[in-house]
C-alpha cells in the first residue's frame, strides 16, 4: 500500500518567509545619493565652462567628478546605520 503524502499549505509557507527584496535605504542614503548627483552635475558643468585649458576644466571638474563617482555615490549605497539591538544586548550583559 502506498504511503500517504502530507501536502504543505502553500499560503502558510509564503506568509512565513519575509521578502528578500526589501528597500534598505533610509533618509541618509537618499541625501548622500543626491549630494553625489549634485557633485557630478557640477563637475560636468565646470568641465564645459571656459577654454579647454582653464583651471575649472582641468582641476576643479575632475576633482568634483571623482568625489561624486568614486566616493559619495558608493558611500550612499553602502551606508547603513548600526543596529540598535546589538548595543542593547551589550548594555544588558554589562549590568
Determine the pLDDT at residue 88: 56
Helices then strands, each counted (H, E), the chain: 6, 0
Per-residue pLDDT, averaged over 6-27, amounts to 74
Query: What backbone phi and psi angles, to 5 degrees, belong to 52?
Result: -70, -25
| Contact (CB, 8 A) for 23 and 80 | no
Q: Does pLDDT of 76 surpass 60?
A: yes
Please state the pTM of the whole predicted model: 0.66
Determine the pLDDT at residue 82: 83
**13 conformational bin, left if phi > 0, alpha if psi -120 to 50, beta if neither:** alpha
Determine the pLDDT at residue 34: 98
Amino acid at each position: 500500500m502506498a504511503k500517504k503524502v502530507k501536502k504543505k499549505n502553500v499560503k502558510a509557507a509564503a506568509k512565513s518567509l519575509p521578502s528578500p527584496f526589501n528597500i534598505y535605504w533610509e533618509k541618509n542614503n537618499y541625501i548622500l545619493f543626491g549630494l553625489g548627483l549634485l557633485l557630478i552635475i557640477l563637475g560636468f558643468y565646470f568641465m564645459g565652462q571656459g577654454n579647454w585649458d582653464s583651471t575649472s576644466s582641468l582641476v576643479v571638474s575632475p576633482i568634483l567628478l571623482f568625489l561624486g563617482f568614486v566616493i559619495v555615490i558608493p558611500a550612499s549605497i553602502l551606508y547603513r546605520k548600526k543596529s540598535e539591538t546589538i548595543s542593547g544586548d551589550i548594555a544588558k550583559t554589562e549590568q
